Amino acid sequence: MSTRFSISRRSLLRGAGVSVALPWLDVMARGASGSTTAKPPVRMGFFYVPNGVHMAEWRPSAEGTLLVLPPILQPLAPVMSRVVVISNLAADHCNGNGAAHEPSGGGFLVGHKCKHSEVPEVGGISVDQVAAAEIGLATPVDSLALGIDPGHRGDHGYSGTYMSHISWRSRTTPAALELNPRQLYERLFADQPPRRPRWGEEAATAPAATTVESSVLDLVRDETRSLQRRLGFRDRRRLEEYLDGIRGIERRIAQAESSRHSHHQDAFDADPGKDADDPELPRLVIPDGKGIPSVYADHVNLMLDILTLAFQADTTRVATFMFSYEKSGRSYAEIAAPGSHHSTSHHGGKPENHEQLVRINTHHMALFARMLERMSRIEEGEGTLLDNVMLCYGSGISDGNKHNHDDLPILVAGGAGGTLRGGRHIVAGKKTPICNLYVDMLARCGAPRERFGDSTGRLAGLGGEDAVG
């Protein structure tokens, strides 16, 4: 390959009505002279689990180097060197008037208390949208807000919107939550140029894209072949693996569309008041199954695989993901946890409830770890995709029985472009604001701020510094 051949990071494979973004290739880092001119960007993500966790099986036994992982964190073993567990972070802004779950979800990434109202209003835009307003301008999609389950109406005078949305584009407008894999896929592969976000306004209707029955890869085949002839061996292999990933996602979406039975129809109790303090709440709205897999784990894996491809192709650099809505009453019969998650989280110290909680918490962690392992196998620059992400995983509640918002279950995964040192358990000072972590993440991802929410500064120690606070 000629050393003078180079292509832009924003290059696309174009076909009839569609475009496919390219993954990071070595040739993108070279100028016309063949010298290195760029490196992969850092992507930011927030992954939310509802109802807290069983902290006794989450928290590592010792500070410092992670030598032995507790049961819930065991799925992270293959990528342990890229994980930092952080204890003693608190979210005082998640405290509410007579309610714990609504302000925990709505306020988690905002850093301010939610308004006690049936009409949702938070204290400002969420941290992911702060990043999207800056680093999101460099990508076709400024940010993604992904989820799995529909929400529920709130209790105690709070809007249910708080429980089903953690990403907020304005004080009164949450980012639209995408639950359907096909709709997400078509949005990412529609031919849309980068645009400046308009916080609080409805997004323009995306141009129609091809359906998955006719692969987008078929429509860009000629341009793909032309590009592959000009790439070196390592770049050809990366491009082939990336396109194979797209093809696999298309097949899985098509399979999900062959049935209208979704996992939602099995996982929620018919009694709408079982997980609500107000017995007069309306029934939970269950979406039809078209495009939704019949197994929860398959749905999560498909959405996370699409997100991984979006990060790989730099279609977006900012994302949030909800494993279920806050206060979720989902049951997990497939992992021997058939009771309502929310009811089980009110464990009352009962061993049988603790056992089910550990199964649920470990199940969520295994799905997250699968994505991290996939990222660790995707070569990018001199490292991997996992080296170039910074992903926060956790909950706005610690113990679901106590509804406390201190010593939250929080970990950070990825290398943040070489600035994050993993394989450690950091014990911060008691009730250190979680917003200190957010300030640190913004700095490492290219959107620095001195303050965010109720932060008192930047959380030190993530890059190996001695001080934490």
Find tokens 């250190």 and name the residue.
432
Where along the chain do its domains lie? 14-444
Mean pLDDT (whole number) for 125-139: 94
Mean pLDDT (whole number) for 119-148: 93
Confidence (pLDDT) at 264? 85
How far is 82 from 77, CA to CA, in rounded Å? 10
Contact criterion met (CB below 8 Å) for 148 and 300: yes
Residue 24 to residues 34, 184, 195, 283, 432: CA-CA distances in angstroms? Answer: 16, 21, 21, 46, 37
Beta-strand relationship, 410-413 and 83-90: antiparallel
- Minimum mean pLDDT range among 109-113, 251-255, 412-416, 459-463: 251-255
For 35-72, the pLDDT digits (tens) are 445 688 999 999 999 999 999 999 999 999 999 999 99
Confidence (pLDDT) at 204? 41
Mean pLDDT (whole number) for 260-282: 67
As given in the structure block, the two tokens for residue 327 are 């206060």
- Confidence class of residue 316 from pLDDT cuts 50, 70 and 90? very high
Write down the pTM of the prediction. 0.85
Residue 80's identity, in one-letter code, is M
Given a cut of 50, whether residue 16 has pLDDT beyond it is: no
Confidence (pLDDT) at 103? 85
- Confidence class of residue 198 from pLDDT cuts 50, 70 and 90? very low
The topology (CATH level 3) of 14-444 is Alkaline Phosphatase, subunit A (3.40.720)
Provide the residue count of the chain.
469
How far is 468 from 454, CA to CA, in rounded Å? 17
Higher-confidence residue: 81 or 210? 81
